[in-house]
């Protein structure tokens, strides 16, 4: 048993002064009680869950930004395929460890890894790629929810192409074998998208996976990210993507719908009423030119929402939260979309924590008994916080700061980030640099 003591702590009931967090041997909060110091930090808030990551795509950041005709998500995807074809197991470990360290330093303390780089460069099949990700997460300190992805098609009614070969399990039985090999890592399940998995196979596949892994596993799917995807789905099924999903499977509180950038209003109401979560990835949705999630009614009605770093071109939990709010401001041409009378950051931070806990299926995202002791710590003197009292620091961080203004990060009660730095970042910078140059310049 251990204790962490903070001058200010964000609890489900709001700010509490001079609090001790009592932590058990598993890294869970056992109790929160009054304290008198010495202090482990001035102000602590729950760590942000990262509800959607493709960690290998971190290696594309800075590449492919020159204009060549009508650039879009679909042209970017070709560059992503070329990257994926070259990454071996050791490369994947190095890329993942670097990216997960960056996530920690930016305020993400847990990550849902939407993992579909399944097979080796030579086509060999096995759990090695997933195990490299598991090891990288463990070594970096971030909490991982591994989501092996079923990927079978190259589009609606089209077979997968050669560029997608490393992602694909043509037979459901082969995918179930992989999940069985990964059972010790407590994975969940992801369907890549309705264009990559035939809608009429979802229910049967989900039932088989739940028989293997358990009935309460998290289930994720990309949905309605791109206008062309919506049009193709309409042509193939007669339904828009969210409508098609709701038509063939019982979406419930275990489901997370990734992006949902182009939904219809009644679809979002149905998602909200079923208790599912929308995972918005604002920086990637801007990076790829997807569009803005139209969340006014969904969010106002209490729909579950989480954030994810997706492509990992820019890794910053604070900035994802800021653009969750700012995207709605741009949609509505109004301010304070997710704010309440207490300000912006507290309700925004708490909603992302609750939605992330739903998405990952883990006791995270809040400072309360039973939750994991994951904290982001702020200290005086950071530029974004100057001129504010501690109760205003979080608002100042969201509107004026970034992950660079974070002083410390705890996962399970252990401090992994000190003075804004992941302790292994200097060790890994050169290694990561060499790996990415080798991959992209070969």
DSSP 250-261: ---TTEEEEE--
Write out the two tokens for 257: 């719908």
CA distances from 12 to 16, 59, 354, 371 (A): 10, 37, 10, 12
User: Is 90 exceeded by the pLDDT of residue 277?
Assistant: yes
For the sheet with 41-46, list strands across it: 29-34, 14-23, 2-11, 41-46, 375-378, 408-411, 414-418
Least trusted range by pLDDT, from 73-82, 347-356, 364-373, 377-386: 73-82
User: Is 80 exceeded by the pLDDT of residue 423?
Assistant: no
pLDDT per residue as tens digits for the range 286-313: 999 999 999 999 999 999 999 999 999 9
pLDDT attached to residue 428: 84
* Spatial separation of the C-alpha atoms in residues 273 and 293, rounded to whole Å: 18
Of the candidates 295, 329, 298, 311, which has an alpha carbon nearest to the alpha carbon of residue 399? 329
pLDDT band at 420 (very low <50, low <70, confident <90, very high): confident
pLDDT attached to residue 68: 62
- 363 and 28 Cβ atoms separated by less than 8 Å: yes
435, 436, 438, 442 alpha-carbon torsion, rounded to 10° = 150
Q: What are residue 215's phi and psi, to 5 degrees?
A: -80, -15
Write out the two tokens for 210: 């739940």
Write out the two tokens for 382: 């950071």
Where in the sequence of the chain do the CATH 2.30.40.10 domains occur? 2-46+368-425
Residue range 2-46+368-425 in CATH 2.30.40.10: yes
pLDDT per residue as tens digits for the range 44-77: 999 999 999 999 999 999 776 656 656 666 677 7
pLDDT per residue as tens digits for the range 213-227: 999 999 999 999 999
pLDDT band at 424 (very low <50, low <70, confident <90, very high): low
* Spatial separation of the C-alpha atoms in residues 295 and 421, rounded to whole Å: 34
* Spatial separation of the C-alpha atoms in residues 224 and 1, rounded to whole Å: 46
- 9 and 32 Cβ atoms separated by less than 8 Å: yes
* Spatial separation of the C-alpha atoms in residues 287 and 368, rounded to whole Å: 35
| Length in residues, the chain | 442
Q: What is the mean pLDDT of residues 263-291?
A: 96
* Spatial separation of the C-alpha atoms in residues 401 and 381, rounded to whole Å: 12
* Spatial separation of the C-alpha atoms in residues 74 and 189, rounded to whole Å: 25
Of the candidates 346, 337, 77, 361, which has an alpha carbon nearest to the alpha carbon of residue 228? 77
Residue range 48-360 in CATH 3.20.20.140: yes
* Spatial separation of the C-alpha atoms in residues 330 and 323, rounded to whole Å: 10
pLDDT attached to residue 397: 98
Q: Which 3 state secondary structure label does DSSP give 113? A: strand
Cα atoms found within 13 Å of the Cα of residue 348, Cβ hemisphere only: 25
End-to-end CA distance of the chain: 50
Q: Could you list the active site residues?
A: 259, 310
- 50 and 307 Cβ atoms separated by less than 8 Å: yes
- 356 and 307 Cβ atoms separated by less than 8 Å: yes
In the structure, how many helices (H) and strands (E) does the chain have? 14, 17
1 or 107: whose pLDDT is higher? 107
Q: What are residue 182's phi and psi, to 5 degrees?
A: -100, 5
pLDDT band at 163 (very low <50, low <70, confident <90, very high): very high
Q: Which 3 state secondary structure label does DSSP give 54? A: coil
22 - beta bridge partners?
A: 3, 31
* Spatial separation of the C-alpha atoms in residues 425 and 404, rounded to whole Å: 14
Task: Report the run of H or E that residue 222 belongs to, with start and end.
Answer: strand 219-223
Where in the sequence of the chain do the CATH 3.20.20.140 domains occur? 48-360
User: Is 80 exceeded by the pLDDT of residue 258?
Assistant: yes
- Residue 435 CA, chain-centre distance (Å), reads 24
pLDDT attached to residue 66: 59
Going along 194-245, which residue ranges are E strands? 219-223
pLDDT per residue as tens digits for the range 395-404: 999 999 999 9
User: Is 90 exceeded by the pLDDT of residue 382?
Assistant: yes
Write out the two tokens for 53: 């990551």
DSSP-derived secondary structure letter, 58: G
* Spatial separation of the C-alpha atoms in residues 112 and 146, rounded to whole Å: 6
- 110 and 47 Cβ atoms separated by less than 8 Å: yes
* Spatial separation of the C-alpha atoms in residues 96 and 174, rounded to whole Å: 25
């Amino acid at each position: 048993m251990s204790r962490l003591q903070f001058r200010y702590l964000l609890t489900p009931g709001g700010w509490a002064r001079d609090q001790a967090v009592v932590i058990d041997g598993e890294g869970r909060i056992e109790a929160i009680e009054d304290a008198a110091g010495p202090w482990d930090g001035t102000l602590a808030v729950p760590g942000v869950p990262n509800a959607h990551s493709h960690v290998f795509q971190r290696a594309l950041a800075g590449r492919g930004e020159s204009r060549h005709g009508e650039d879009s998500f679909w042209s970017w995807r070709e560059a992503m395929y070329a990257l994926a074809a070259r990454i071996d197991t050791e490369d994947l470990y190095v890329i993942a460890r670097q990216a997960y360290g960056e996530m920690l330093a930016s305020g993400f303390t847990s990550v849902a890894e939407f993992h579909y780089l399944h097979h080796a460069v030579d086509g060999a099949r096995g759990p090695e790629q997933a195990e490299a990700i598991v090891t990288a997460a463990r070594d970096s300190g971030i909490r991982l929810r591994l989501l092996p992805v079923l990927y079978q098609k190259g589009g609606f009614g089209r077979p997968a192409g050669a560029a997608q070969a490393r992602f694909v399990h043509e037979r459901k039985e082969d995918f179930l074998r992989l999940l069985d090999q990964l059972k010790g890592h407590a994975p969940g399940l992801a369907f890549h998208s309705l264009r990559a998995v035939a809608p009429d196979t979802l229910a049967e596949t989900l039932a088989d996976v739940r028989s293997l892994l358990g009935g309460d596993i998290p289930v994720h799917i990309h949905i309605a990210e791109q206008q062309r995807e919506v049009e193709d789905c309409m042509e193939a099924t007669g339904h828009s993507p969210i409508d098609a999903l709701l038509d063939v499977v019982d979406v419930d509180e275990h489901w997370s719908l990734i992006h949902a950038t182009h939904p219809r209003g009644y679809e979002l109401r149905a998602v909200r009423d079923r208790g599912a979560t929308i995972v918005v990835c604002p920086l990637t949705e801007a990076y790829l030119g997807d569009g803005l999630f139209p969340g006014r009614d969904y969010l106002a009605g209490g729909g579950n929402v989480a954030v994810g770093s997706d492509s990992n071109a820019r890794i910053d939990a604070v900035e994802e939260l800021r653009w969750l709010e700012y995207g709605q401001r741009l949609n509505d041409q109004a301010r304070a979309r997710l704010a309440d009378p207490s300000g912006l950051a507290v309700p925004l931070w708490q909603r992302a924590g609750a939605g992330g806990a739903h998405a990952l299926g883990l006791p995270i995202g809040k400072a309360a008994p039973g939750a994991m002791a994951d904290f982001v710590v702020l200290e005086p003197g950071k530029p974004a916080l100057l001129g504010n009292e501690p109760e205003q620091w979080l608002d100042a961080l969201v509107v004026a700061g970034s992950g660079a203004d974070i002083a410390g990060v705890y996962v399970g009660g252990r401090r992994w980030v000190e003075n804004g730095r992941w302790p292994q970042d200097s060790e890994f910078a050169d290694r990561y640099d060499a790996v990415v140059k080798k991959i992209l310049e070969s």
